[in-house]
A and B are shown apart, each in its own frame.
Chain A
Amino acid sequence: MKEQSLNIERRSATTTPSPGVRHTVEVAKLIDISKCIGCKACQAACMEWNDIRDKIGTCEGTYANPADLSAGSWTVMRYAEVETKDGRLEWLMRKDGCMHCADPGCLKSCPAPGAIVQHSNGIVNFQQENCTGCGYCITGCPFNIPRLSPDDHKAYKCTLCSDRIATGMEPACAKACPTGAIMFGSKKAMLHHAEGRITDLKERGYRQAGLYNPAGVGGTHVMYVLPHADTPELYSGLAKDPQLSTLVLFWKGIAKPLMGYSLGLAVLTGIFHYVTVGPNEADEDETEE
């Protein structure tokens, strides 16, 4: 779904510039984990606004349901019970979903032109009509977010409610969040708000409180306020230092084009070898000795 009023900054598998004349304010969703009660209102709102319904599953021995992201669940709550060093129990709840990276691994690894776009406000969107279903976005994502639908074989994930944002509304999850744990606004405003929250948390004894806006992916447009920012992996395995691995960057950035040229070069070499050296012919007149 293309939102007319959202400018496209980058497109997957496209080597020419994207339409980039208009500039919009960079937006961000800020998830304050210290305010989150894990009520799943965000999940319900996501299902309702996007008209998606996952299967009615089973209880696997945790509160988490559905148990994982899927084409029908673009956000899920993850719960972790952690005992801190001083013996205190903490029940850490994290809303998992697309982080809308400034430097999106999915977009970089997508081979289908225009199947993944990055809007100038920072939203990374899947355009399912261009998706081939190869699943490369899944491998490219450092947060393990995109999921293929078993029904239509297209990849799906959180859109940050780009259709709502395009018309001046906040994402459905932020609208539904009863405690204000999910905030939405300009990235600048969210960074500012996060500072206040972190100060408050530090006053309450969370000395390692901090913002999760990892530089390895150029920062994200979904950020967390974490009471334990030094150990994000406590929050159901949130990546400590997510990056597009240098190998992938080298691979996608240099190696692949080089390989493409190499293939062309191989062909050219053949042609020029042929026209300069000539064919390798057996002399039919060559006599037996």
Chain B
Amino acid sequence: MTNHWVDIKNADLILIMGGNAAEAHPCGFKWVTEAKAHRKAKLVVVDPRFTRSAAVADYYAPIRSGTDIAFLGGVINYLVTNDKILHEYVQAYTNATFLVNPDFNFAEGMFSGYDAETRSYDTATWSYQLGADGYAKIDETMQDPNCVMQLMKKHFSRYTPELVSRITGTPVEQFLTICEMIGSTAVPDRVMTSMYALGWTQHSVGSENIRCMAMIQLLLGNIGVAGGGINALRGHCNVQGITDMCLFGESLPGYMKLPTESDASFGDYLTRMTPKPLRPNQINYWSNYPKFFVSLMKAWYGEAATKDNNFGFDLLPKIKGPSDALAIFERMYQGEINGFFCQGYNPLAAVANKKKVSTALAKLKYLVVIDPLPTETSEFWKNHGVLNDVDPAAIQTEVFRLSSTLFAEEDGSYTNSGRVIQWLWKAVDGPGESKGDVEIVSRIYLKLREMYAKEGGAYPDPVLQLSWPYSIPEQPSSTELAREISGRALTGDGEQLSGFGQLKDDGSTACGNWLYCGMWSPAGNLAARRDNSDPSGLGQTLNWGFAWPANRRILYNRASCDVAGNPWDPSRMVIKWNGSKWVGNDIPDMRLNARPEEMVMPFIMHQEGVGRLFGLNKLKDGPFPEHYEPFESPLAKNLMHPDNPESKCNPAVRIFMGDLDSFGKPDKFPYVGTTYRLTEHYHFWTKHSRINAILQPEQFVEIGEELAKEKGLKDGDKVIVSSNRGHVKAVAVVTKRIKTMDVDGRKVHTVGIPIHWGFMGLAKNGYITNTLTPYVGDATAQTPEFKAFLVNIEKA
């Protein structure tokens, strides 16, 4: 979230698209009802299904799953053609004025630099024109045909309401009504917030879905302001925390990157990772990368990380190739991985194409499952009848199940979607012989260290030299870890640091995650603060927990003021320039003494200081979002560029060999399948919990009345839903809430498939829904396309 949960109450318009906040985030949804009750805000929901969110919305429009960019691209077209943009904001705070490399080009759904062989782009042309001074060139008049504004206008001019409607199935008048509502926030005193979740990420164009909305918010001047922003609703109470700490094998804590094979030396690596400013006077905060990185290495390797050994740069692995979930299971499937640690993770249920995952797991020598509950993954080898029809005799994988404690059984912190870190205290001891995750991993580590010390190995140093300063080595406490992550000085009395501004690249500071720096300051554990006083009334409770970065609650909040430093809307003042410094109701996201005349722009993490309407090479599938059909689409062609079969689906998406054959065609699988979650359950976990099992006991799928009539189905019938990868059996829920869509003159039916069942737990056992889903992900984030694929449905 650029903003935070409570801030949603400051919105005038709330758009829930690509998510179902009422269903999946009922507690956070209270701020929507607050906005409606106290600001008279309007709620708009766009979704393939009439959801629980839609049930309390002021306006709802249906959309075919997987066509969000067509819809949002149409919104951009509407905003620029109807002049519904906040001009001063767009001019100053976005790269609309920037000139783009004249060789950049877009034709027939493909951006310049495409290589069909590798299914990837050479992104050299996705860049700015640079002047002799090394800075990007701009055209203040935005008339240059190569300026971002003109390129953007041209790109989205193709997204006419009629074409949008033909692709998305959203009726034109409904689409235009929503455009008008969105456009109404292009004024300084009206703000829209965007709430999205997996409904946008779980597509082969996931990252671009979100970018497209970010562009809209930039055009409307809704980023950095109270009640605005682009707000990812994270699924788990601490999934933001794990993302911050190191979500992928390719990354390091605080969104730093692990070196790769190509980083020949420490210097090369730092040069590659440390950006240069692209406009004068800009903060370009990532220029501090060396400080963050060196401090991290000091936290991890302590005394062993010295200036002479490049702070232990060579102790880090230099990875080759991607390590996202799909890539890992592909390599496992290919037999390249023989041991797998699975901690708080149930991939048999959670990863696409269960059959492939099951086959992959069966190729392992050993599998270690660290979990509080017996999961489907830990029993993947066991025959559970039709629900898991495997032959245990044929599976040689040795499975170890280590029972861990649950969330309420240990102290620690949670980082919520709004980046607010909150400390929580252990409520009860874990049952039986369960142990905390930290203890389990520590004990494994200590054993490995002992074995490496005794027996040696190919390269024991990374293990042996790891700093392990905890008072009980087997049980590093949450407190010790939190202090280490927050960081301390290595000189003087070694006091805790109060913020990342103090980090040094000379080895005199240690910090486990620069973003969390200051969370445990000399004043103590700020995440444990519970003062909810709110002097501004905006919900900016700065003494409640600690928000990264620097306890800032609204990111880019410099953009909440005009260029002169006055709030766009004084009644929702986040910060302002008081003549000598930035002050206000939040920690200013700006150098405190940066006078407005210095033109230090709000997007301080960017080299150019402004928000990117043109996305450069940051996403792998293009600097502008473009509509591509899902990999399994009911349509024969992409109506945006019907003549180019290569750009029907996202051309930059990675497809593993063999997976292409696993995709189904509409002749056999004519309906759009989409998977989702229900309020009553949390993933594959709460089916083990009695109350949740009572509230939603049995697996079901939802279909519209028209499809039900065609298939002769009624409420409560058992049905078989199949894709090219397998089938599930469930109870049919026939509903008015899923409408048959009119897409380019033909009827498209949607089959809604909630995910929560499996062959373990108290709820009625059911099929794993990811039996159905395709093994293909977003071009950039590799999040699987769980939201749009093809199925068939028959009475069982």
Q: Give A residues with C-beta under 8 Å from B.
A: 34-41, 43-44, 47-48, 53-63, 65-66, 81, 83, 89-93, 178-181, 197, 200, 203-204
- Docked CA distance A250–B737 (Å): 46
Q: Give the residue of A47, A65, A83 whose beta carbon is less than 8 angstroms from that of B696.
A: A65
Say yes or no for B80: interface residue by CB 8 A criterion.
no
B763 nearest CB across to chain A (Å): 6
Question: Total A-B pairs in contact (CB under 8 Å)?
Answer: 121
Q: Give the residue of B23, B733, B762, B763 whose beta carbon is less than 8 angstroms from that of A37.
A: B23
- Docked CA distance A58–B732 (Å): 12
In order of increasing CB-CB distance, the 6 nearest A-B pairs are A61-B715, A61-B716, A37-B22, A59-B698, A91-B55, A39-B679
Verify B694–A54 contact, CB threshold 8 A.
yes
- Docked CA distance A197–B37 (Å): 8
Additional A-B contact list (6), CB under 8 Å, known A37-B56, A59-B697, A178-B27 = A35-B37, A36-B56, A40-B679, A56-B697, A59-B716, A200-B36
Q: Give the residue of A36, A56, A90, A204 whose beta carbon is less than 8 angstroms from that of B690.
A: A56
B22's closest neighbor in chain A, by CB?
Answer: A37
A251 nearest CB across to chain B (Å): 39
B63 nearest CB across to chain A (Å): 15
A71 nearest CB across to chain B (Å): 14
Verify B37–A200 contact, CB threshold 8 A.
yes
Verify B33–A180 contact, CB threshold 8 A.
yes
Interface locus among B46-54, B115-123, B204-212, B436-444: B46-54
- On whether A61 and B691 interact (CB within 8 A), knowing A39-B52, A41-B26, A89-B50, the answer reads no
In the complex, what residues of A have CB within 8 A of residue B731's CB? Answer: 58-61
Say yes or no for B720: interface residue by CB 8 A criterion.
no
Cross-chain pairs A/B with CB under 8 angstroms, 11 sampled: A34-B56, A44-B691, A47-B691, A58-B697, A59-B696, A59-B700, A61-B716, A65-B680, A65-B696, A178-B26, A204-B58
- Docked CA distance A93–B680 (Å): 15
- Docked CA distance A180–B29 (Å): 10
B29 nearest CB across to chain A (Å): 6
Verify B33–A179 contact, CB threshold 8 A.
yes
Say yes or no for B699: interface residue by CB 8 A criterion.
yes
B237 nearest CB across to chain A (Å): 14
Q: Give the residue of B23, B26, B696, B717 whose beta carbon is less than 8 angstroms from that of A179.
A: B26
Verify B697–A37 contact, CB threshold 8 A.
no
In the complex, what residues of B have CB within 8 A of residue A204's CB? Answer: 58
A47's closest neighbor in chain B, by CB?
Answer: B691
Q: Give the residue of B55, B733, B735, B736 whose beta carbon is less than 8 angstroms from that of A59.
A: B733
In the complex, what residues of A have CB within 8 A of residue B735's CB? Answer: 81
B689 nearest CB across to chain A (Å): 10
A126 nearest CB across to chain B (Å): 22
A102 nearest CB across to chain B (Å): 28
Verify A44–B695 contact, CB threshold 8 A.
yes
Verify A89–B737 contact, CB threshold 8 A.
yes
In the complex, what residues of A have CB within 8 A of residue B50's CB? Answer: 89, 91
- Docked CA distance A107–B27 (Å): 37
Verify A65–B695 contact, CB threshold 8 A.
yes
A81 nearest CB across to chain B (Å): 4
In the complex, what residues of A have CB within 8 A of residue B236's CB? Answer: none
Say yes or no for B489: interface residue by CB 8 A criterion.
no
Verify A61–B733 contact, CB threshold 8 A.
yes
Verify A62–B736 contact, CB threshold 8 A.
no
In the complex, what residues of A have CB within 8 A of residue B693's CB? Answer: 56
The interface size of chain B toward A, counting residues with CB under 8 Å, comes to: 47
Q: Give the residue of B52, B691, B733 whose beta carbon is less than 8 angstroms from that of A48.
A: B691
- On whether A60 and B30 interact (CB within 8 A), knowing A36-B56, A204-B58, the answer reads no
Verify A200–B40 contact, CB threshold 8 A.
yes
B32's closest neighbor in chain A, by CB?
Answer: A179
In the complex, what residues of A have CB within 8 A of residue B795's CB? Answer: none
A53 nearest CB across to chain B (Å): 6
B36 nearest CB across to chain A (Å): 8
In the complex, what residues of A have CB within 8 A of residue B32's CB? Answer: 179
Q: Give the residue of A37, A54, A91 whose beta carbon is less than 8 angstroms from that of B26.
A: A37
Verify A93–B55 contact, CB threshold 8 A.
yes
Say yes or no for B572: interface residue by CB 8 A criterion.
no
Verify B26–A56 contact, CB threshold 8 A.
no
In the complex, what residues of B have CB within 8 A of residue A35's CB? Answer: 33, 37, 56
- On whether A37 and B55 interact (CB within 8 A), knowing A56-B764, A59-B733, A178-B27, the answer reads yes
A227 nearest CB across to chain B (Å): 10
A106 nearest CB across to chain B (Å): 26
A195 nearest CB across to chain B (Å): 13
Say yes or no for B714: interface residue by CB 8 A criterion.
yes
B77 nearest CB across to chain A (Å): 27
Say yes or no for B734: interface residue by CB 8 A criterion.
yes
A72's closest neighbor in chain B, by CB?
Answer: B694
- Docked CA distance A200–B401 (Å): 55
- Docked CA distance A89–B33 (Å): 20
Verify A62–B715 contact, CB threshold 8 A.
yes
Verify A40–B680 contact, CB threshold 8 A.
yes
- Docked CA distance A59–B58 (Å): 30
- Docked CA distance A189–B632 (Å): 55
- Docked CA distance A138–B23 (Å): 34
Q: Give the residue of A37, A58, A81 whose beta carbon is less than 8 angstroms from that of B764.
A: A58
In the complex, what residues of B have CB within 8 A of residue A61's CB? Answer: 700, 714-717, 731-734
Verify B33–A43 contact, CB threshold 8 A.
no
A94 nearest CB across to chain B (Å): 12
- Docked CA distance A203–B58 (Å): 11
In the complex, what residues of B have CB within 8 A of residue A178's CB? Answer: 26-27, 29-30
In the complex, what residues of A have CB within 8 A of residue B695's CB? Answer: 40, 43-44, 65
- On whether A56 and B762 interact (CB within 8 A), knowing A39-B26, A61-B716, A178-B26, the answer reads yes
What 0/1 readout, one digit per residue, does chain B (749-787) give for beta carbons within 8 Å of chain A? 000000000000011100000000000000000000000
In the complex, what residues of A have CB within 8 A of residue B23's CB? Answer: 37, 39
- Docked CA distance A91–B737 (Å): 8
- On whether A56 and B763 interact (CB within 8 A), knowing A35-B56, A180-B30, the answer reads yes
In chain B, positions 420-452 with a C-beta closer than 8 Å to chain A are: none
Verify A89–B30 contact, CB threshold 8 A.
no
A206 nearest CB across to chain B (Å): 10
- Docked CA distance A47–B691 (Å): 8
A180 nearest CB across to chain B (Å): 6
In the complex, what residues of B have CB within 8 A of residue A39's CB? Answer: 22-23, 26, 52, 679-680
B732's closest neighbor in chain A, by CB?
Answer: A61
Interface centre among A39, A47, A66 (most CB of B within 10 A): A39
- Docked CA distance A65–B697 (Å): 8
- Docked CA distance A199–B697 (Å): 39
B7 nearest CB across to chain A (Å): 17
B5 nearest CB across to chain A (Å): 12
Verify B52–A58 contact, CB threshold 8 A.
no
B305 nearest CB across to chain A (Å): 46
Verify B679–A90 contact, CB threshold 8 A.
no
Verify A53–B699 contact, CB threshold 8 A.
no
Q: Give the residue of A48, A57, A58, A91 whose beta carbon is less than 8 angstroms from that of B54.
A: A91
Verify B53–A56 contact, CB threshold 8 A.
no
- Docked CA distance A273–B690 (Å): 69
What 0/1 readout, one digit per residue, does chain B (683-713) give for beta carbons within 8 Å of chain A? 0000000111111111110000000000000
A48 nearest CB across to chain B (Å): 7
A10 nearest CB across to chain B (Å): 34
- Docked CA distance A80–B749 (Å): 22
- Docked CA distance A60–B700 (Å): 9
In the complex, what residues of B have CB within 8 A of residue A203's CB? Answer: 40
B55's closest neighbor in chain A, by CB?
Answer: A91
A276 nearest CB across to chain B (Å): 69
- Docked CA distance A53–B690 (Å): 8
B21's closest neighbor in chain A, by CB?
Answer: A37
A272 nearest CB across to chain B (Å): 64
A204's closest neighbor in chain B, by CB?
Answer: B58
In the complex, what residues of A have CB within 8 A of residue B55's CB? Answer: 37-38, 90-93
In the complex, what residues of B have CB within 8 A of residue A81's CB? Answer: 735-737
A179 nearest CB across to chain B (Å): 5
Verify B714–A66 contact, CB threshold 8 A.
no
In the complex, what residues of B have CB within 8 A of residue A89's CB? Answer: 50, 60, 736-737
